[in-house]
């Protein structure tokens, strides 16, 4: 699902990961590429990192160059290409922190490329292989993936494990899980909205389907329009204007009635998707807030 501008800011925050520590590598081979990256010329920087990767004989430097190229591609929003490039470094068997970074960035790019199922599987592999390393970023990304997959119970278990691993504070735990339960409760309410239920309600009670979909104004308008049409039909028929009552009363009523049924179903579908986007963003902002709190504690 497409998230709104707030979540775009979240994506930018996640993309802006620190550059790889290169204290063991020859800094000079990266000078030009790093300068391009720092100046915001990400496409040119990606080409220069590719050149370093191609010319270097060191597997470490090649892996670092690949990771740096991925950072540039992420800034360009090319997560699919970044994911494909990362596969070239899967064979690296050197420094564990670099191997962790390769797999983490691969999972991140899968998530950003709307392939959360594959991202989840990659994160499980990462946890199994590198559980001995600091996993703060892993916890956040896995939480985001679980939220995207709407695996709410797994997310709650993961959140509890995440918090207790980094912080033992009962007051914070209580407030955190209260916020999570409130967001989850809203999710469950929105997920219960059904297009067919909205149509069925408007079939028996004009306007009720729109109200069920969360649009009280539309519901009242549709209900009033149908009552007004029937009232016009009744008044004109009572005064003997039978043909006029048919065209000016029953005709509009029929349009309002069947149109209202269809409109209720459409509103239910639109509002459900819109509210899910909003709640997905709220969940992501909440998870980022948890991550920031733990990082500062």
How far apart, in whole angstroms, are the C-alpha atoms of residue 131 and residue 274?
38
What's the domain range around 207? 150-297
Same domain, 127 and 9: yes
Same domain, 131 and 154: no
* pLDDT tens per residue across span 88-107: 999 988 889 999 999 999 99
Same domain, 77 and 170: no
Report the number of distinct structural domains present in the chain.
2
Which pTM does this prediction carry?
0.71
Same domain, 166 and 43: no
| Pick from 111, 109, 89, 110: nearest CA to 100 | 89
pLDDT at 16: 47
Mean pLDDT of 79-87: 95
- Look at 284 and 116; give whichever has higher pLDDT: 116
pLDDT at 170: 54
In a domain, 156, yes or no: yes
Q: What is the CATH number of the domain that holds 8?
A: 1.25.40.10
In a domain, 141, yes or no: no
Task: Specify the 3-state DSSP secondary structure of 213.
Answer: coil
In a domain, 145, yes or no: no
**258: DSSP letter:** H
Helical spans, DSSP H, in 23-169? 31-38, 42-55, 59-75, 79-86, 96-112, 116-130, 136-148, 152-166
Mean pLDDT of 278-291: 84
Chain mean position to CA 19: 25
How far apart, in whole angstroms, are the C-alpha atoms of residue 16 and residue 36?
16
In a domain, 259, yes or no: yes
Going 144 to 80 to 124 to 135, the CA torsion angle's sign is negative
Is the pLDDT at 68 greater than 60? The verdict is yes
Q: Which two tokens stand for residue 39?
A: 């100046």
Q: What does the CA dihedral 14, 19, 20, 21 come to, rounded to 10 degrees?
A: -130
pLDDT at 186: 84
pLDDT at 95: 86
How far apart, in whole angstroms, are the C-alpha atoms of residue 38 and residue 163?
34
In a domain, 142, yes or no: no
* pLDDT tens per residue across span 181-202: 888 888 888 888 888 988 998 9
| Pick from 60, 59, 88: nearest CA to 73 | 88
pLDDT at 112: 92
How far apart, in whole angstroms, are the C-alpha atoms of residue 236 and residue 60?
88
**197 close to 252: Cβ distance less than 8 angstroms:** no
pLDDT at 84: 95
pLDDT band at 27 (very low <50, low <70, confident <90, very high): low
**56 close to 90: Cβ distance less than 8 angstroms:** no
Q: Which two tokens stand for residue 7?
A: 């979540």
> In angstroms, what CA-CA distances link 252 with 207, 225, 242, 258?
15, 9, 15, 10
In a domain, 217, yes or no: yes
* pLDDT tens per residue across span 139-179: 999 999 999 998 888 998 888 888 877 766 556 666 777 88
């Amino acid at each position: 699902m497409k998230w709104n501008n707030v979540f775009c800011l979240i994506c930018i925050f996640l993309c802006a990961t620190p550059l790889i520590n290169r204290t063991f590598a020859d800094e000079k081979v990266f000078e030009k590429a790093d300068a391009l990256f720092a100046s915001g010329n990400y496409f040119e920087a990606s080409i220069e990192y590719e050149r370093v990767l191609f010319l270097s004989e060191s597997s470490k430097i090649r892996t670092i160059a690949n990771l740096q190229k991925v950072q540039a591609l992420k800034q360009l929003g090319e997560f699919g290409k970044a994911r494909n490039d990362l596969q070239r470094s899967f064979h690296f068997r050197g420094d564990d922190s670099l191997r962790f970074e390769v797999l983490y960035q691969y999972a991140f790019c899968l998530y950003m490329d709307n392939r959360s199922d594959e991202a989840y599987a990659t994160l499980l592999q990462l946890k199994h292989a590198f559980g001995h390393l600091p996993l703060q970023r892993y916890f956040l990304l896995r939480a985001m993936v679980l939220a995207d997959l709407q695996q709410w119970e797994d997310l709650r278990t993961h959140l509890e494990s995440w918090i207790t691993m980094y912080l033992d504070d009962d007051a914070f735990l209580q407030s955190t899980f209260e916020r999570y339960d409130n967001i989850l409760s809203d999710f469950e309410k929105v997920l219960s909205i059904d297009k067919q239920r909205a149509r069925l309600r408007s079939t028996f009670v004009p306007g009720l389907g729109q109200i069920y979909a969360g649009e009280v104004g539309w519901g009242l308008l549709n209900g009033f329009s149908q009552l007004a049409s029937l009232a016009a039909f009744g008044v004109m028929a009572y005064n003997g204007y039978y043909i006029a009552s048919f065209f000016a009363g029953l005709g509009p009523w029929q349009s309002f009635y069947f149109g209202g049924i269809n409109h209720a179903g459409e509103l239910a579908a639109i509002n459900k998707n819109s509210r899910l986007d909003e709640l997905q963003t709220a969940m992501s902002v909440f998870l980022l807030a948890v991550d920031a709190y733990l990082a500062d504690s």
